[in-house]
Homo-oligomer: A and B are copies of this chain.
Amino acid sequence: VGEGPSVGFADRLAALVEERRSQIVLGLDPDPSALWPDAVGEEPARAGALGGAAGTGEPARADEVAALTAAAVERHCRLAIDAAGPHCVAVKPQLACFERLGAPGWAALEATVRAAQQAGLLVIADAKRGDVPVSAKAYAQALVGETPGPYGAVKGLGVDAFTANPLLGRDALEPLIETGAGCFVLVRTSNPGAAEIQDEPHDQPLYERLARMVDELGKSHTTGESGLSNVGAVTGATRPDLLQRLRELMPKAIFLLPGVGAQGGSPEDLAPAFATHPAGGLIAASRSIVGAHAQTGGDPAQAAARAAEELRKAAWR
């Protein structure tokens, strides 16, 4: 699509959305207990039979279990990217699902990021990070930058965008936004409990204050011809009644819309997100794609490809 590295996230995304006619983001929330069979293969039996390094029949050692599990998670993600990726514009790995496998899990995350990018997909790290400015800078280094040190610079994950938590305020978001990567700020999340904090009926609910802040922060990060900003917003698809108002408050923001499918949201209700630009909304789906075979039966890869394509068509008017 002809973008160089100097093109911002919003405009790379806008071009890719037009090219692929898709606004679908493949969520990767790998659960080691529900991996695709091809990702696990014969190894559980082998691991049980061979046991530790000496093949003594003892239970596998903790670090072997972590390494085997992380390798299977990585294979699962590659298979999901191969199957559903062609119908999507981005993947969204949930960092919690990799962190819980320790250092091998982080290595699997790095490999998944590379695999998705090699498949022509953008990567949105679902990290929901937020911290005081000095630590936010460290998270920025971890996600998209690099960390100088006595042996040279250590490269970060190298993702294209990430999610961020705004509770700590503007000075805490700035180190993340200044990276130039896409930054999706939590404005109205998709879980039921969000109402208590984010919707509390004041003269101005918290989500409105957050939306105004996102709009202001994004003004100086809108560079290309799409008119979209690198500072986006996470706005749950489970409250479509709020989208019109949120679009008014954040005309340039790309909305990342979790909650379609398993959480009950429907792509038909999301029109305000797309009102400004076809890339103004991204529909994030994980269980309804990667776990589609649990509903439909059959091969997980075929079921995932079918679910992703159905969702793409439903969203693309």
Contacts and interface: CB of A to CB of B under 8 A. Distances in A.
Contact of A156 (B100, B168, B194, B209): B100
Contact of A47 (B105, B134, B151): B151
Contacts of A150: 32-33, 35, 40, 43-44, 69, 72
Contacts of A244: none
A168 B151 contact: no
A96 interface: yes
A172 B154 contact: no
A147 B106 contact: no
A139 interface: yes
A68 interface: yes
B191 A149 contact: no
Contact of A100 (B101, B134, B138): B138
Interface residues of A, number: 83
A107 interface: yes
A203 to B, nearest CB: 7
B170 A167 contact: no
A171 interface: yes
Contact of A69 (B106, B149, B213): B149
Contact of A191 (B133, B153, B198, B203): B133
B134 A60 contact: no
Contacts of A156: 100, 102
Contacts of A240: none
A165 interface: yes
A47 B193 CA distance: 51
A11 interface: no
Contacts of A167: 130, 165-167, 186, 189, 197-198
Given A62-B155, A135-B96, A152-B60, A170 B142 contact: no
Nearest to A210: B197
Given A29-B138, A94-B135, A172-B194, 18 more contacts: A35-B149, A44-B151, A65-B153, A65-B154, A96-B129, A96-B141, A100-B138, A100-B142, A106-B106, A128-B129, A128-B131, A130-B165, A132-B189, A132-B191, A133-B193, A165-B167, A168-B186, A169-B198
